[in-house]
A and B are shown apart, each in its own frame.
Chain A
Amino acid sequence: MASNTVRYPQDMTRRLPILASACVALFAASIFMQRLIDPGRQAYHAQENLRTTQAAMGGLNNEFMLLPLLGFREAAAGLLWVRCDEFFHSGDYDAILPLVRLITWLDPHADNVYITGAWHLDYNFTDSSERSDRRYIAPAVGLLKEGIANNNNIPDIKFELGWQDFDKIKDFPGAVEAFKMAIAGPYGDENIFDPAKNHTIPKDQDNEGYWPYAGPLKDIHMLAHAYEKEGRLPDAIATWDHALERSTKLLRDKPKDFGNKSMHDAELHNRAEILQRYYDRYTDLNHDHNNPSKLPAVHAAAANGGGKPGPFDIALRPLIEVPRRYVLKVSGRVNLADGGRIDVRISDWDYKDRVSDKDLRALQPPDLGQTILIDSISIRKDKFAREMDMSKDPKMYSFSNKLGPDKTGLYKIVLSFNTRTTAPHIQDYAGWSGEGLTDAQPGRVFYVSDEAQLATKMIEGEGGKGPVWDGKAVPFPFYGQPPRVIRVTYKINQQQVLGNKPITDADIVPNDPDTTIMLK
């Protein structure tokens, strides 16, 4: 007869089903709660997923490896950023890039890391003559765009993208778009920044005209400057008006604030200056004692030289020599005032700026074998000259292109003068879009076909289409004036780069519309 052994006390046995049921019910409740939490956690940990975690963990040293696993991603990012700061002060820029990549994976909201990382890519990788390595531009743009995607409500990264376009690449349409994005904020309207919805912006930034708007006032200032550079004056004036509206409010709130007053005055000055320049350069109206000419300045220079009123012949006469292998001496004459610069672009014939992959796994050029050099030579007494020694930097200038009939390589040298990037005293007779310049050799007057580069048409007959601005309508909806760039393009081969064969006018080819006027 089997014995009925009771192993556990009765109360324990009685409790078991109740406890087990409660356990199952609570566990189900925990799953329910987890499903409620998941969307919120995805917002808190946006961009933190298997891919970025794998990538970050793969790059971390042992000393940092444990931190992200224990939930200290931001602490690991902070410590890496401290190390970046040390590298920055010691000038070890190469060491910074992989850390920047890791930090932005660990902490995708570290806005300053995107900004500083892009700045390193843009400015700190140079050859032995301090010329930037333009192959890093595309990864820098990619990094900033990634930062914007991860931090849509932070205007600083958008501003930095605009600044990069404005200052480094001279992509003024790109800068306009970036500054507009920074001003508009995450909801496409600068006035929609609702603290009730936790759209938090630190209020202590109101001294910049930030609060309660989505972006600071400097974004509007730079937008106005970018419009002016682009030759869209009505938009530039409308943008200064927009800035004045905000700065007037600021001034009303703090009338004794010297910063607000000087900023407001600078805006008024800039607005007035644009209009005065317009009248002087393109019309015979409102000329003051500084400009007694009865002609628009863009037509006066030729008339003052004894010719018919119209564009002025700058007579670009370049000469390219190769004194030693991989050393190019670019010189020549041009009828332009001191302060102007001739842009030089030496590249593979088929150079394309691009990133290595869309994920930007590495912040480096996609193809280290590509060659590109961009420089600008200043004009002194109608002459320009510079020797460009690329033999010292084979990593930047490998000249390993394989185009050409015998696959020995084909290269492009483009010399150009773009009035949109030149000094105002030259623009005073050249115009914003080069309406006042020409070259006796018609093939050297190059009209940029890119629609995005079209400016407001200011004067008849210089390649523009559509109506001429009346100087009053703000903004003016028509864009019809392409930039007129004076440009000469050479097509050379490997033997010429090596100095075995001279570069002559016979190597000049028609200007290639695919070669951008931007510095990238």
Chain B
Amino acid sequence: MIAWAIARQTVNEALRRRIMWVFLISGVALIFLMPLFGYLTAPKDSQTVLRALGLAAILLAGLFITIVTCIYLIPVEIERRTIYTVLSKPVQRYEFVLGKFLGGFITVAINILFMGVLFIFMLYLQSLKVGLDRGFFACITSGTFAPEMIRGIFMTFFQMLLLAALTIFFSTFTTPIVNFFLSFGIFMVGNLSSVTDSLTTNSNWLVRGTGTVIHYLLPNFGNFNIQNALIHPVAEISNPNEYMRNNIVYALIYSAVLLILAIIVFDRREV
């Protein structure tokens, strides 16, 4: 309950941060601008590009919102010395870390949800088959939803969960600027999981060893990229539900590892 109270307070604070709004507005603007790319010669291509860019806009905005929200959560409390007031009360350090993580992640989730709904609505608008000259009702009911896109948004959600845990972990012992580059860098390397996976079978033992360590030690953010199958619906994937389920479990387990590490480090930190 203490962690939940801290989380609620964190959400309130995070939603007041202007920098987060800058990224949210950028993401929303990108989603709104999607139809500008809809002028390609083949209509099928336009749909492909719209879907790719929409999912990318959510992921890009979500990435920056997660990092800029979470890197400040703990350091700001230390810098402003408000942490003394909190920790002088019957609040355990682990509760503080968990509360901060939950608050940060809920903020990110609200943003992703907002952008996701907007994205699906924009795809719906794009799919309208008749014009307003046929009447407003006929026009607005002539479109089709793209429910499969929810899968992509859902995976972005868990990708950001993992990133939030990573950023919170780093924030227990680094400055925000170092944390920004560390989290961003690991996100990039983690996105190359297909490459690191192929390195694990390399014939050179040094490359193979390094690839194996990177592949299993660092969080594999690339696992969550299922956009391709969503953008090209004829690309055949067997058991997509099982794949998603495994990834959700992976995100939860790896986030738990990072949060435990964060708690261990923060327990030992002198504040």
List chain A positions with a Cβ less than 8 A from chain B: 8, 11-12, 15-16, 19-20, 22-23, 26-27, 29-31, 33-34, 36-38, 40-45, 48-50, 53, 67, 69-75, 77-79, 81-82, 85, 88-89, 107, 109-112, 151, 153-154, 186, 197-202
Contacts and interface: CB of A to CB of B under 8 A. Distances in A.
Interface string B230-265: 011111111110110011011001101100110110
Nearest to A113: B45
Contact of A74 (B56, B63, B93, B195): B56
Interface stretch (B46-54, B112-120, B133-141): B46-54
Contacts of B240: 198
Contacts of B66: none
Interface residues of B, number: 66
Tell which of A31, A71, A78 has the most Cβ of chain B within 10 Å: A71
B81 interface: no
6 contacts: A37-B243, A49-B194, A49-B198, A74-B55, A77-B52, A110-B48
A112 B42 contact: yes
A110 to B, nearest CB: 7
Given A15-B267, A37-B243, A81 B40 contact: yes
B264 A42 contact: no
Given A36-B246, A198-B237, 13 more contacts: A12-B268, A16-B267, A19-B264, A40-B242, A40-B243, A41-B222, A41-B223, A41-B243, A69-B191, A71-B191, A74-B56, A74-B231, A81-B45
B29 interface: no
B164 interface: no
Given A33-B250, A34-B250, A78 B48 contact: yes
Contacts of B246: 33, 36-37, 40
Contact of A19 (B53, B199, B260): B260
Contacts of B193: 41
Nearest to A202: B233
B249 A33 contact: yes
A16 B264 contact: yes
A71 B52 contact: no
Interface in B105-129: none
A257 B15 CA distance: 57
A192 B87 CA distance: 65
A20 B264 contact: yes
B84 interface: no
A41 B197 contact: yes
Contacts of B242: 40
A201 B234 contact: yes
A74 B194 contact: no
B112 to A, nearest CB: 15
Given A74-B228, A82-B40, A41 B194 contact: yes
A79 B40 CA distance: 11
Interface in B91-105: 92-94
A37 B228 contact: no
Given A44-B243, A70-B60, A70-B188, A30 B235 contact: no
A14 to B, nearest CB: 11
B192 interface: yes
Contacts of A154: 234
A19 B246 CA distance: 24
Contacts, number: 177
A67 B234 CA distance: 24
Given A37-B246, A107-B228, A23 B56 contact: no
B235 A109 contact: yes
A40 to B, nearest CB: 4
B36 to A, nearest CB: 10
Interface of B: 37, 40-42, 44-45, 48-49, 52-53, 55-56, 59-60, 63, 92-94, 187-188, 191-195, 197-199, 215-216, 220-229, 231-240, 242-243, 246-247, 249-250, 253-254, 256-257, 260-261, 263-264, 267-268
Tell which of B55, B94, B260 has the most Cβ of chain A within 10 Å: B260
Nearest to B92: A11
A239 B103 CA distance: 65
Given A16-B264, A20-B264, A49-B194, A26 B257 contact: yes
B227 A31 contact: no
B197 A197 contact: no
Contacts of A78: 37, 48-49, 52-53
Nearest to A8: B268
A12 B256 CA distance: 18
A44 B237 contact: yes
A154 B188 CA distance: 31
A30 B249 CA distance: 9
Tell which of A15, A30, A73 has the most Cβ of chain B within 10 Å: A30
Nearest to A199: B236
Given A40-B239, A50-B198, A85-B40, A110 B232 contact: yes
B107 to A, nearest CB: 21
Tell which of A33, A77, A112, A197 has the most Cβ of chain B within 10 Å: A33
Contacts of B93: 12
Nearest to B93: A12
Nearest to A200: B233
Across the A-B interface, give the 5 residue pairs with the lowest CB-CB distance, nearest first.
A75-B56, A40-B243, A78-B49, A78-B52, A74-B52
B137 to A, nearest CB: 22
A34 B216 contact: yes
A215 B63 CA distance: 40
A353 to B, nearest CB: 29
B146 to A, nearest CB: 12
B115 to A, nearest CB: 15
A81 B50 CA distance: 12
Contacts of A109: 228-229, 231-232, 234-235
A50 B221 CA distance: 17
Given A15-B267, A23-B261, A109-B235, A30 B253 contact: yes
A343 B220 CA distance: 58
B228 A44 contact: yes
A73 B226 CA distance: 11
A153 B223 contact: no
A82 B247 CA distance: 32
Given A26-B260, A78-B52, A50 B195 contact: yes
Nearest to B231: A74
A43 B237 CA distance: 7
B177 to A, nearest CB: 19
Contacts of B222: 41, 45, 71
B257 A23 contact: yes
A74 B57 CA distance: 12
B238 A198 contact: yes
A48 B194 CA distance: 6
Contacts of B231: 74, 107, 109
Contacts of A71: 59, 191, 221-222, 224-225
A45 B267 contact: no
B233 A72 contact: no
Contacts of B247: 37
A31 B250 CA distance: 9
Contacts of A22: 256, 260
